[in-house]
């Protein structure tokens, strides 16, 4: 039941965000959202996931927290299989390449993200896995 509710909310969030070009569901307080378009590693179908993000220069930083679950989120596994993806931000679609950041960048970017979404530390405490911090780098212009 919970999984089907999550799927329904994700589909609704994505549709409204896309139709409104991010004016609706694009921000919650100081938290900003984007839509990540990946290709399913098993299905080869397009998958769309709303994620909160922070900017680091021209790059988008997202956290693969999965709410502190034991396993990485599907979108992260899809990016590991195929790092090229697209993000939809405020009506623009941007081609990106995903890179999991190294330890030397992780703390700074984690803190930057945590400043906009206070739950990240509690998510990390719930799981034994190191939660990945992902840099979505713009490709091309």
- Cβ atoms 135, 99 nearer than 8 A: yes
Q: Is 95 exposed, middle or buried (0-12, 13-18, 19+ CB in 10 A)?
A: middle
Structure tokens at 116: 């906009």
Task: List pLDDT tens digits, range 56-108.
Answer: 999 999 999 999 999 999 999 999 999 999 999 988 999 999 999 999 999 99
Domain boundaries along the sequence of the chain: 2-138
Q: Under CATH, to which class is 2-138 assigned?
A: mainly beta
Within 10 angstroms of residue 37's Cβ, the number of other Cβ atoms is: 20
| pLDDT band, residue 49 (cuts 50/70/90) | very high
Task: List pLDDT tens digits, range 11-48.
Answer: 776 766 676 776 766 667 788 999 999 999 999 999 99
């Amino acid at each position: 039941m919970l999984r089907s509710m999550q799927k329904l909310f994700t589909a609704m969030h994505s549709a409204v965000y896309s139709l409104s070009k991010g004016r609706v569901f694009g921000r919650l307080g100081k938290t900003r959202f984007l839509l990540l378009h990946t290709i399913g590693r098993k299905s080869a179908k397009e998958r769309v996931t709303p994620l909160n993000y922070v900017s680091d220069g021209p790059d988008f930083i997202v956290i693969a927290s999965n709410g502190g679950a034991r396993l990485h989120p599907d979108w992260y596994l899809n990016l590991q299989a195929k790092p090229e993806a697209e993000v939809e931000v405020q009506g623009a679609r941007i081609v990106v390449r995903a890179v999991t950041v190294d330890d030397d960048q992780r703390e700074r970017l984690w803190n930057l993200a945590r400043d906009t979404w206070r739950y990240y530390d509690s998510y990390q405490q719930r799981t034994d896995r190191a939660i990945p911090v992902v840099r979505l780098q713009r490709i091309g212009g």
